[in-house]
Homo-oligomer: A and B are copies of this chain.
Amino acid sequence: MITIQQQDAYRRQATEYFSTRAGLVITPEEKNRIEIADFGLGDFEHTGLAVLVYVNTERCCAKELAMLPRQTCPEHVHPPVGADPGKEETFRCRWGTVYLYVPGPPTARPHARPPQGSEAHYTVRHEVVLRPGGQYTLPPDTLHWFQSGPRGAVVSEFSTRSLDEKDVFTDARIARVTRVVG
């Protein structure tokens, strides 16, 4: 849960990440519809993500993500939905650093740690480091989570149709749709 005032402040901050840091032009209309996702945990600065959806049709989707320093997008999977095999997505780092974790041999000395107290809800530990110009394509139905580096990050996401409400999080406390209160 976040307040309208928090949402406004985090939207301004995300706009600064997109515009000043990553040099991306976004419109005033877009600024006012940036999603401030707290995943229902009410701790946005640690577990959260600012999301600007450019386009999301039946077939494809493009977004920008802004992350505060050491902010985490919690572990989840995009499962098959009906005839759809699940969302396939490519992350491309535009600014800052992102540590992405996917299935595979656990990385011995990872750059990121799961948020304190939530370690049990982070099960994949193979690290992919993305710096500006770096990208990674994630097949559908694949567990993943990611955390930004010490300065935060801006990441472009190119994918098939996005159905956020169908995402399955490892942490059962998570609700993908953020509640905003007045």
Interface residues of A, Cβ cutoff 8 Å to B: 22-27, 30, 54-55, 57, 59-62, 88, 90, 92, 94-95, 132-135, 137, 156, 158-160
Among residues of B, the one whose C-beta sits closest to the C-beta of A158 is B62
Q: How far is B92's CA from A30's CA once the two chains are assembled, in angstroms?
A: 13
Q: How far is B134's CA from A156's CA once the two chains are assembled, in angstroms?
A: 17
User: Contact between B88 and A27 (Cβ–Cβ < 8 Å)?
Assistant: no
- Report chain B residues within 8 Å CB of A95: 25
Listed by A's residue number, 24 A-B pairs whose Cβ atoms lie within 8 Å are A22-B23, A23-B23, A24-B94, A25-B94, A25-B95, A25-B132, A26-B133, A27-B134, A30-B133, A54-B90, A54-B135, A55-B90, A55-B158, A59-B60, A59-B88, A59-B160, A60-B88, A60-B158, A60-B159, A61-B158, A62-B62, A62-B92, A62-B158, A158-B158
